[in-house]
Amino acid sequence: MKRSEVDRSKLSPMMAQYMEIKDSHPNELLFYRLGDFYELFFEDGITASKELELALTGRNAGLEERVPMCGVPHHAVKSYIERLVSKGYRVAVCEQLEDPRFTKGMVKRGVIDVISKGTVADFEFLDSYSNSYIASVLEFIDVFIVTILDISTGKLLSVSLERNETKLINLIEQYQIKEVIFKDFEEKELIDKLKNTYNIEVEYSFDSYDNIPNGLFEDITDVRVKLGVCHLYYYLVNVELKDLSGISEIKIINQNDYLQMDIHTIRNLELVETMRSKERQYSLLWLLDKCKTAMGSRKLKEWILNPLRNKDILISRYDKIEKLNNEFILKDELRTNLDDIYDIERLTGKVTNGSLNARDLLQLKKSLLVLPKIKDIIEKLGFNYNIDTFDSLTDLLEKAIDENAPISVKEGGMIKSGFNKELDELKEIKAGGKKFVASFEEKIKNETGIKNLKVGFNKVFGYYIEISKGQATFVKEEFGWDRKQTLTNCERFISPELKEKESLILNAEEKIIDLEYELFNDIKNKVKENILNIRNVAESISEIDVLASLSKVSEDNNYVRPELNDNHTIEIIGGRHPVVEIVSNDSYVDNDCIMDDKICTFLITGPNMSGKSTYMRQIAITVIMAQIGCYVPCKSAKLPIIDKIFTRIGASDDLVGGQSTFMVEMLEANNAILNATEDSLILFDELGRGTATYDGIALAQSILEYVNEHINCKTFFSTHYHEITSLDQKYKTIKNVHVDACEEDGKLVFLHKVKDGAIDKSYGIHVASLANMPDSLIKRANEILEQYESNKKNVKNDNVQLSFAFEEQKDDLLKKFIDGINPDQMTPIEALNTLYELKEKYKK
């Protein structure tokens, strides 16, 4: 049975109410609260039963047949919702808005929350190491305005981005945005790519929120930024019913302030996850993260993905790490205290999104109690962080919240005795009532002589006197008892005295629950008044935690303070790949990298597996570590400030996009060539290997020439094309280096040492033998190789010499001809004739 097929005039009042609410949320799975359960009906019930593996049953709704239904208990609903949301469904939560005890007729219900991929805010369903972002994208003539929000922490960002779809996807991937809201966006291909290739939830919102809190736009002058915030707010407040009152600041992200890396670079360098397993372990983040708080781990990830270009801030971070290294006793004390701090950022998020409970307040209290100690240590270290200790709020939480408080906020047990006089009186009545029941049972046993009677309680009948069938005949009329229930082997009675006390006890219990919930909300509002200051402290704590972590890692692994320069010089002595060094079973071979301002390119040769890729990666990772403010893995380092890093490392097909390894190579190389500046860093690993040999050589050489003639940025180019190593004679900006290896008893030994000069042998067959290929296959390969090398020696050099010089004159003539063409004024036949003419000119 479908919802659209129902005759609504025949529906029961409850189902009629459901239908009305569901009409407002047709695209969500509606969790409809009925007593202790949330129930889903019609198509929602069928979908949820399949996705959650629940039994599909039915409910009477006034129709001839039962409507499809499945349900989940209210105390476990969060896990079910999270499972549905993770599968891409949107969920609307419909609650009872009135207390059934005080309502005649149908209880009023309404949707209080809508949850989607980007708005999950509960701790247990979020990665503590990562922010959970939702974003709005607005199109303007030349830019995208991307407004990014983490509901769980209140972090609000705005990015102005060149109107380029690739850069937009890079940004969405970099921030791991889970849901994107568009407005009148017609780029269907991009939308499909986000949904199908990147698993991003896409929604639309056509309106803007017009009730932004005072002060949020206080320092914002760009109208487009304001429009982006209003667009995102409308979706979150009006569509998803979120409370965003705790957000007080927009952080404007100027990409020129940061070292820019596309998503391919982030993956190739394994900054936050490994390429093979997609796991955090063995990434740079894994190595550097010795943070004691979840906030610190998220902050460190943010730093790694957004290294700075501001030399003053970087030097300030180096200074703090140096201070922490010197004051190691204070550092250890600081880290011990940080270990006692819970995730304050997300606790404040729970205050505003309505999911806060008393145990969360206990975590907040324990975190606030540590702040005076941390403040004292920070002052001793001389760090410029302003840490409020929230003494009055801490005192309130200490006095109010019971250490054994339950998770639920509507069953009592949250508030300590002594906090509220009225509550204490009610608790005394309740406790006295229980004592009365015990003494009453003993009293009537003695008075009646019925020794096996007992006083019990259930929610249907309240308190009762239970007597076995055999003893029931001893109940006399003068007792004044009323029979309440007859069971198979016993009878239940109620006495006037017991009934009177029952009313007192039960009323006390209800009043306790109601009063505790009221007091809890008052305390929550007190916390809410301090939200902005708490978040500011959380921001400081997260940064302190990161610096302490970087200090710990630097000290443990013998990293050194880098020197930053403005003259494009890279001078790394004894450099190491920080992760490979830690996980390698062998002793790590360090390597130097000295590139003065006259050297643009290192052309790297050497056998496969010799360490060329590792050497290139460690240079880039050293730069990134230096530009997050961390010490670096080497004996000494002098580094320039890099503005962009581009990489092309490893072979990878884009199967979803239908692109081959070679096409991916060319697209990534083109991205670097078009966007790099003289302050950039490029890593090209065996570029051109995805096509035929001579094509590959030609492309590799032409790309190297272009980089050295037009860009002049620091470039590391590894290759097996030994033909292009002669380029150092043409370009003084190119230097040949190689990763050394030697043969011992016919076997290849990798030395992993980078030395000056080129190498003219690939050792490919030796590497194949290391892979335990059959001896006969290796022997035959050597025979074939000897034949090729013999033939090559017999060919005159001028026949095999490859020339890739730019044919400037030809290019100029063709350019002049093409510039004179106006396609808009051509007929189809004229265009075809012009194409033939162009082809003939090119041949000549």
> DSSP string spanning 314-353?
HHHHHHHHHHHHHSHHHHHHHHHHHTT---HHHHHHHHHH
Is residue 396 scored above 70 in pLDDT?
yes
Classify 731 in phi/psi space as left (phi over 0), alpha (psi -120 to 50) or beta.
beta
- Sheet of 454-458: strand order equals 454-458, 462-468, 490-494, 482-486
Collapsing DSSP to helix, strand or coil, 740 comes out as strand
What is the pLDDT at residue 36? Answer: 87
What is the pLDDT at residue 800? Answer: 39
What mean pLDDT is predicted for residues 401-417? 91
The fraction of the chain above a pLDDT of 90, given in percent, is 53
Is residue 689 scored above 80 in pLDDT?
no
Of 49-58, 553-562, 827-836, which range is least confident? 827-836
* Secondary element (H or E) of residue 23: helix 13-23
Q: What is the pLDDT of residues 558-606, one digit of tens each?
A: 999 999 999 999 999 999 999 999 998 778 899 999 999 999 999 998 8
What is the pLDDT at residue 448? Answer: 86
What is the pLDDT at residue 442? Answer: 86
Q: Is the Cβ–Cβ distance between 366 and 397 less than 8 Å?
A: no
Is residue 358 scored above 90 in pLDDT?
yes
* Secondary element (H or E) of residue 158: strand 155-162
> What is d(CA 405, CA 414) in angstroms, rounded to the nearest whole number?
5
Is residue 72 scored above 80 in pLDDT?
yes
Which tokens is 630 given? 């961390």
What is the pLDDT at residue 799? Answer: 39
Write down the mean pLDDT value for the chain.
87
The pLDDT-based confidence of 806 (bands split at 50, 70, 90) is very low
Nearby residues of 337 by Cβ (< 8 Å), 6 or more positions away: 370, 373, 374, 377
DSSP letters for 592-661: EEEE-TT--EEEEE--TTSSHHHHHHHHHHHHHHHHTT--BSSSEEEEEPPSEEEEE-S---BTTTTB-H
Q: What is the pLDDT of residues 444-493, one digit of tens each?
A: 888 888 888 888 887 777 788 899 888 888 888 888 888 888 888 889 98
Is residue 794 scored above 50 in pLDDT?
yes
Q: What is the pLDDT of residues 632-676, one digit of tens each?
A: 999 999 999 999 999 987 655 443 344 556 777 777 888 888 899
Q: Can you tell me which residue has the tokens 């692994």?
A: 557
The pLDDT-based confidence of 315 (bands split at 50, 70, 90) is very high
> What is d(CA 259, CA 624) in angstroms, rounded to the nearest whole number?
8
Most confident option among 244-258, 624-638, 744-758? 624-638
Q: Is the Cβ–Cβ distance between 733 and 599 less than 8 Å?
A: yes
Model-level pTM? 0.84
Q: Is the Cβ–Cβ distance between 334 and 548 less than 8 Å?
A: yes
Count of alpha carbons within 13 angstroms of residue 319, beta-carbon side: 10
Is residue 279 scored above 80 in pLDDT?
yes
* Secondary element (H or E) of residue 92: strand 91-96
What is the pLDDT at residue 27? Answer: 93
Nearby residues of 476 by Cβ (< 8 Å), 6 or more positions away: 448
Q: Is the Cβ–Cβ distance between 829 and 837 less than 8 Å?
A: no
DSSP letters for 765-804: HHHHHHTT--HHHHHHHHHHHHHHHHHHHHS-HHHH----
Q: Is the Cβ–Cβ distance between 723 and 695 less than 8 Å?
A: no
Which tokens is 314 given? 């970087």
The fraction of the chain above a pLDDT of 70, given in percent, is 89
The closest alpha carbon to 299, from 77, 62, 549, belongs to 549
- Do the strands 681-685 and 714-718 form a parallel or antiparallel pair, or are they unpaired? parallel
Which tokens is 95 given? 């609650």
- Per the model's pLDDT, the better-predicted residue between 436 and 44 turns out to be 44
Q: Is the Cβ–Cβ distance between 533 and 344 less than 8 Å?
A: no
> What is d(CA 194, CA 172) in angstroms, rounded to the nearest whole number?
9
> What is d(CA 686, CA 449) in angstroms, rounded to the nearest whole number?
99
Beta-bridged to residue 644, according to DSSP, are: 260
The distance from CA 636 to its chain's CA centroid, rounded to whole angstroms, is 34
What mean pLDDT is predicted for residues 80-108? 88
Is residue 552 scored above 50 in pLDDT?
yes
> What is d(CA 143, CA 136) in angstroms, rounded to the nearest whole number?
13
What mean pLDDT is predicted for residues 208-220? 85
> What is d(CA 813, CA 807) in angstroms, rounded to the nearest whole number?
10
What is the pLDDT at residue 40? Answer: 96
What is the pLDDT at residue 349? Answer: 86
DSSP letters for 557-579: TT-B--EEESS--EEEEEE--HH
Q: What is the pLDDT of residues 494-545, one digit of tens each?
A: 888 888 777 777 788 888 999 999 999 999 999 999 998 999 999 999 999 9
